[in-house]
């Protein structure tokens, strides 16, 4: 593929091909691999996430995996392990969280998979509620609710998540209206199996109703309280939405970002700071008599030809190696314009995009993920991040900043871009900064204030010692968001640095820990990682060592934490003087 390195025209064609593969009728796609692999039946196992790499690239081991199919089986699995004081972790069928939440300590832990806990148990259209087992995927939930004429009003945009995993990490969509965008705030009851003493048979089922304060611990539990067996959600009558994307310059984004969220129920923004552009998603509920049968099949979640993925990755690696920022900016623009032309995968009727607004039913618009569909071989097509093929490999930094500080944060990023105009092109290659609205939650580990969640996706080298182009800019943005403005990290995304000093950011952290102490006094569902995140162990989550800042395992304090031999040294930030970032110095 050498011809690609210099042939920009060829490259553009291939990038287009990436999106063109939307229209090519591709039948061979492959579902993601099982994140759990065992060398002997259900024993001697490893677990990873859907990207095949945790932030510290460690391999997690467990002695065994259990696949309960009923609540009774969960009880018996938890009881046996509790009697034996075995460490446990709940795992899901795809394991989409980036941090090491699913790793039990040591090597003799037990994984309890929810893969076969995937039934809808009850749909009550009178009370508008739905009771499901915790391993049900978002896709299944949306589909079955719609069959009964109901909808979950807000959800993540990717439907490959399980209900247990997505509430466990506080996953959300985008709104400032009503109950907000976090799915856990629509949970009105759940059932959780926790360890217990011998007098109770070593395991017990706890039913937490809406009036039970413990539900606020269990809504966002990071998996440390026990195994959630079933969840009851409050739904709404199925409704229609009308979506229009509008592109504007980002001059007044600081002012717009707050008010826009109050103007439209499903508002969100995608920001391209180096291009000085923003896509405003004008998105509201409409009466069901407005015509339209729109469909969201987001381009970034479609199966992509593995050959195209390899070419994209090689091109990106070459740009990084050559330090070619201009080409990154060109590609960033091309990605943006290609997505815009393809209306981000929206169609007016399920087949073609003919213009805005796209009107359709909530269940057809709220989430997508067609790359999960399986027929054949990952070596033909796959989800863009599938670790079995050479494809996209990235870091994700995601935090929410309270509405009162959003303007200042945006202006800080704009100042950085003024100093370093190409600094954010790398993020634009991954479709820019996604900004979504979240509301204050009663969940102890949920959002503390109404806020905007900012998601950054960016190149990660296969070699952990390799710095990234404009390393310093993204590190500074990360530290400004997390430290200067006290941003709350998404529990299911991020690199280690995001979780430093977390427990001080939640006013009810103590309440959470009390419930944890009651439910699992031996900490069998906890690990070194969760203990450190929750402030229960000294030392924090940072892993200090050579090159640690490059992977977000530490904030640098010495040059050796960067890559001095490659010209990257630990220096203060450009506008936030308390930031410490790996800066490329040219002598
Ligand atoms: C392509 C993609 C798109 C995404 N889009 C969004 C988005 O739009 N919005 C958003 O907020 N996030 C998004 N995410 C992040 C995602 O929400 C989180 O990673 C999510 O929590 C993962 O869910 P999972 O089912 O894979 O759970 P896992 O990652 O497997 O598990 C998460 C945690 O929950 C625990 N857990 C799982 N099930 C149970 C159970 N039954 N009982 C007790 N504990 C349990 C696990 O032990 C673990 O600690 C996205 C991720 C990907 C890969
Ligand atoms: C989404 O697009 C893919 C093509 O990449 C297609 O195979 C799939 O059927 C589409 N999904 C829906 C629901 O139309
Ligand atoms: C009990 O735990 C030990 C190690 O902690 C493990 O080797 C053994 O297999 C466990 N026994 C059962 C019945 O789970
Ligand atoms: C559509 O429904 C609304 C109420 O939901 C009603 O006011 C309006 O008249 C209806 N329009 C048509 C064309 O039926």
Domains of the chain by range and CATH? 1-27+239-353+382-460 (3.40.462), 31-236 (3.30.465.10)
Number of alpha carbons in the 13 Å side-chain half-sphere of residue 228: 34
pLDDT tens by residue, 93-117: 999 999 999 999 999 999 999 999 9
- Residues of the chain with pLDDT below 50 are 1-28
Does the beta carbon of 43 lie inside 6 Å of ligand 3? Answer: no
Could you identify the atom of ligand 1 that is nearest to the CA of residue 453? 11
Backbone angles phi, psi at 237, to 5 degrees: -60, 140
Ligand closest to 351 (CA) is 2
Backbone angles phi, psi at 339, to 5 degrees: -65, -40
| Whole-angstrom distance, CA of residue 266 vs CA of residue 367 | 12
Ligand 2 binding pocket (C-beta < 6 A) is: 22, 26, 295, 297, 302-303, 350, 370
* Amino acid 538: pLDDT: 87
* Residues 206, 207, 211, 217, CA torsion sign: positive
> Probe ligand 4: pick from 289, 290, 291, max atoms within 8 Å of CB?
289
What is the Å distance from ligand 3's center to 63 Cα? 9
- DSSP helix/strand/coil, 396: strand
Task: Say which residue the tokens 């169609």 belong to.
Answer: 347
Angle at 583 between CA 580 and CA 587, to 5 degrees: 135
For residue 150, CA distances in Å to 127, 266, 368 come to 11, 18, 18
| Whole-angstrom distance, CA of residue 160 vs CA of residue 171 | 12
Please name the residue whose Cα sits nearest to atom 3 of ligand 4.
287
Ligand 4 binding pocket (C-beta < 6 A) is: 287, 289
Q: What is the DSSP letter of 496?
A: G
* Amino acid 376: pLDDT: 58
Closest CA to 503 of 443, 578, 442, 444: 444
* Amino acid 163: pLDDT: 98
What is the Å distance from ligand 3's center to 217 Cα? 30
Ligand closest to 63 (CA) is 3
Could you identify the atom of ligand 2 that is nearest to the CA of residue 350? 14
Does the beta carbon of 84 lie inside 6 Å of ligand 3? Answer: yes
| Whole-angstrom distance, CA of residue 99 vs CA of residue 250 | 32
Could you identify the atom of ligand 4 that is nearest to the CA of residue 287? 5
Interacting residues of 294 by C-beta distance below 8 A, sequence separation 6+: 243, 346, 347, 348, 349, 350, 358, 359, 360, 364, 365
Does the beta carbon of 358 lie inside 6 Å of ligand 1? Answer: no
Find how far residue 401's CA is from the centre of its chain.
16
Please give the structure tokens belonging to residue 216.
Answer: 């606020």
Element containing residue 33 per DSSP (H, E) = none
The string of DSSP codes covering 403-451 is: HHHHHHHHHHHHHHHHHSTTTTHHHHTTT-EEEEEE---SSTTS-SSSE
Please name the residue whose Cα sits nearest to atom 44 of ligand 1.
223
Task: Supply the pTM of this predicted model.
Answer: 0.94
Does the beta carbon of 246 lie inside 6 Å of ligand 3? Answer: no
Interacting residues of 9 by C-beta distance below 8 A, sequence separation 6+: none
- DSSP helix/strand/coil, 30: coil
Cα dihedral value 139, 142, 145, 150, nearest 10: -170
Q: Are 265 and 239 in contact (CB under 8 A)?
A: no
Ligand closest to 32 (CA) is 1
Please name the residue whose Cα sits nearest to atom 39 of ligand 1.
164
Interacting residues of 313 by C-beta distance below 8 A, sequence separation 6+: 390, 391, 392, 393
Interacting residues of 251 by C-beta distance below 8 A, sequence separation 6+: 276
> Probe ligand 1: pick from 49, 55, 166, max atoms within 8 Å of CB?
166
């Amino acid at each position: 593929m050498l011809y690609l390195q210099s042939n920009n025209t060829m490259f553009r064609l291939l990038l287009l091909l990436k999106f063109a593969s939307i229209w090519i009728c591709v039948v061979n796609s492959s579902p993601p691999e099982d994140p759990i692999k065992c060398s002997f039946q259900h024993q001697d196992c490893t677990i990873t996430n859907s990207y095949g790499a945790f932030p510290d690239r460690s391999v997690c081991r467990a002695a065994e995996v259990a696949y309960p199919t009923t609540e009774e089986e969960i009880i018996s699995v938890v009881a046996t392990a509790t009697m034996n004081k075995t460490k446990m972790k709940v795992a899901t069928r795809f394991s989409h969280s980036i941090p090491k939440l699913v790793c039990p300590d040591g090597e003799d832990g037990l994984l309890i998979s929810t893969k076969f806990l995937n039934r809808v148990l009850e749909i009550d259209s009178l009370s508008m509620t739905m009771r499901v087992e915790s391993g049900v995927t978002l896709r299944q939930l949306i589909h079955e609710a719609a069959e009964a004429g109901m909808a979950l009003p807000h959800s993540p945009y990717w439907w490959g998540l399980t209900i247990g995993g997505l509430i466990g990490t506080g996953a959300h969509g985008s709104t400032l209206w009503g109950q907000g965008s976090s799915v856990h705030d629509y949970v009105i009851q759940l059932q959780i199996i926790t360890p217990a003493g011998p007098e109770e048979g070593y395991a017990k089922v706890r039913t937490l109703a809406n009036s039970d304060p413990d539900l606020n611990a269990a809504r966002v539990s990071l998996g440390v309280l026990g195994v959630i067996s079933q969840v009851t959600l409050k739904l709404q009558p199925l409704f229609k939405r009308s979506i229009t994307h509008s592109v504007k310059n980002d001059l007044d984004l600081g002012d717009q970002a707050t008010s826009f969220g109050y103007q439209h129920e499903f508002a969100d923004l995608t920001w391209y700071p180096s291009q000085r552009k923003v896509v405003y998603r004008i998105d509201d509920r409409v009466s069901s008599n407005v015509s339209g049968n729109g469909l969201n099949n987001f381009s970034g979640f479609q199966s992509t030809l593995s050959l195209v993925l390899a070419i994209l990755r090689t091109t990106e690696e070459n740009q990084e190696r050559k330090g070619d920022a201009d080409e990154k900016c060109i590609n960033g623009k091309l990605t943006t314009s290609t997505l815009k032309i393809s209306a981000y995968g929206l169609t007016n009727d399920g087949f073609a995009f003919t213009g805005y607004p796209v009107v359709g039913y909530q269940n057809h618009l709220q989430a997508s993920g067609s790359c999960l569909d399986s027929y054949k071989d990952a070596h033909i097509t796959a989800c863009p991040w599938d670790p079995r093929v050479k494809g996209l490999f990235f870091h994700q930094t995601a935090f929410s900043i309270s509405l009162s500080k959003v303007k200042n944060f945006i202006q800080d990023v704009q100042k950085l871009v003024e100093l370093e105009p190409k600094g954010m092109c790398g993020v634009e290659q991954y479709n820019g900064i996604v900004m979504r609205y979240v509301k204050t939650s009663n969940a102890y580990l949920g959002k503390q204030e109404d806020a905007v969640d900012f998601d950054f996706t960016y190149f990660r080298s296969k070699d952990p010692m390799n710095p990234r182009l404009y390393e310093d800019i993204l590190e500074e943005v990360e530290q400004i968001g997390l430290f200067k403005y006290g941003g709350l990290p998404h529990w299911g995304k991020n690199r280690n640095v995001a979780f430093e000093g977390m427990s001080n950011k939640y006013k009810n952290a103590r309440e959470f820990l009390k419930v944890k102490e009651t439910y699992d006094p031996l900490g069998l569902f906890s690990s070194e990682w969760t203990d450190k995140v929750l402030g229960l162990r000294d030392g924090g989550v940072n892993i200090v060592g050579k090159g640690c800042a490059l992977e977000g395992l530490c904030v640098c304090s010495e040059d050796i934490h960067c890559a001095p031999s490659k010209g990257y040294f630990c220096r203060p930030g450009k506008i936030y003087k308390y930031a410490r970032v790996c800066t490329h110095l040219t002598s």
